[in-house]
Structure 1
Amino acid sequence: MPRRDYEGDPNAPLANSLVPAASAIVVDDDGRVLLQRRTDNGAWALPGGKMELGESIGDCAVRETLEETGIEVEVVGIVGTYTNPGHVFAYDDGEVRQEFSICLLAHPTGGNLRRSDESLEVGWFTPEATDDLPMVPSIRKRINDWRASRGPVVR
């Protein structure tokens, strides 16, 4: 389901849903961060997605990371909460979702790096290598918050 991100855009459509979601900053023993290049917008992003009924926000981050990247993780902390009402995702089916995301810090515990139907590419990047990657502002914000050790932040 393709989507378009709007952040701080006065011409953005009005939100018609609010869905809890999790993203994960997964950091390996070498200090590299796990990223995926999304199929829906071609931008680099953290693994993550909407929380399902019956799961915790931590379980959501673990599940989404495995589904999207092939990497098994353990949640070890929180980077921040991101609930900007001026940031919405418009989907082709008419849903316009206000962001409500909790970004968790995680450590890899197993698995094998692989693409999914949601990722064109997946890989490990040094924090500095993320500077030149195309990504939406909300993902860049999360990575910058993690790199600055600001957490946990509330945005």
Structure 2
Amino acid sequence: MGIKIKCVVGVIILDNQNKVLLQRRGDDNNWCIPGGGMDLGETVEETAKREVFEETGLIIDDMTLFNVYSGKTQHHIYPDGNEFYFVNVVFLTRKYHGHMVIDGDETKELKYFELNNLPSRLSATNIPIFQDLSRRINKYD
């Protein structure tokens, strides 16, 4: 099997109170920002919009690059045993529309959380994202 590198894309979706939308994943029950793996030939922007729509039903109108994460903090082992180091391209948006839809497969639950009250079962690869987001938001408050 072996360890692989995988390019993934995630989107921080904030409401007007700076609450972040998280999904409870169907594979491991952990909470994380919506996102997923790139398809061949796709841009990171296309991946972001596709993954958010597939996992939440929401349509992104506009987004900005937040950060790129890689290295030891982006190590992930899926429940099926597949092991990856992600190159995680993360966008941020406050501009989106649509109605949230939970497919029950990839996404078991969708909920907005305050940054100082995140759920305990976070995907480990998202922890540096939330740390950076907290610092950035607190800087401007």
2:107 paired with 1:119: yes
Identity of aligned residues (%): 26
- Equivalent position of 2:51 in the other structure: 64
- Measure, in 2, the Cα distance between the counterparts of 1:33 and 1:108: 13
Indicate the SS of the match to 2:22.
strand
Q: CA RMSD in A?
A: 2.3
Question: Cα 1:143–1:85, aligned 2, differ >3 Å: closer, same or farther?
Answer: closer
Indicate the residue corresponding to 2:84 in structure 1. Answer: 97
Checking the alignment, whether the CA contact within 8 Å between 2:74 and 2:88 is kept in structure 1 is: no
* SS, match of residue 148 in structure 1: helix
SS at match of 2:75: strand
Q: Secondary structure at the match of 2:39?
A: coil
Scaled by the length of structure 1, the TM-score of the pair is 0.76
Say which structure is richer in helix: 2
What are the Cα deviations for residues 66-106 of structure 1, in whole angstroms up to 9, with x where unaligned? 11011111343222111114643334666422211111112
Structure-2-length-normalised TM-score: 0.83
Are the aligned partners of 1:26 and 1:73 in contact in 2 as well (CA < 8 Å)? no
Q: Are the aligned partners of 1:19 and 1:50 in contact in 2 as well (CA < 8 Å)?
A: yes
CA contact 1:25–1:143 (8 Å) conserved in 2: no
Structure 2, gaps ≥5 residues long: none
Aligned to 2:122: 135
Separation (CA, whole Å) in 1 of partners of 2:46 and 2:62? 9
Cα distance change of structure 1 residues 124 and 76 upon mapping to structure 2, 3 Å threshold: same
The one-letter code of the counterpart of 2:94 is H
Residues of 2 paired with 1:91 and 1:33: CA distance? 24
Aligned with 2:45: secondary structure?
A: helix
SS of 1:55's partner is coil
Question: For the residues of structure 1 that align with 2:50 and 2:107, how far apart are their CA atoms?
Answer: 15
Is 1:46–2:13 an aligned residue pair?
Answer: no
Count of aligned pairs between the two proteins: 136
CA gap of 1:75–1:19, structure 2 versus 1, over 3 A, is farther
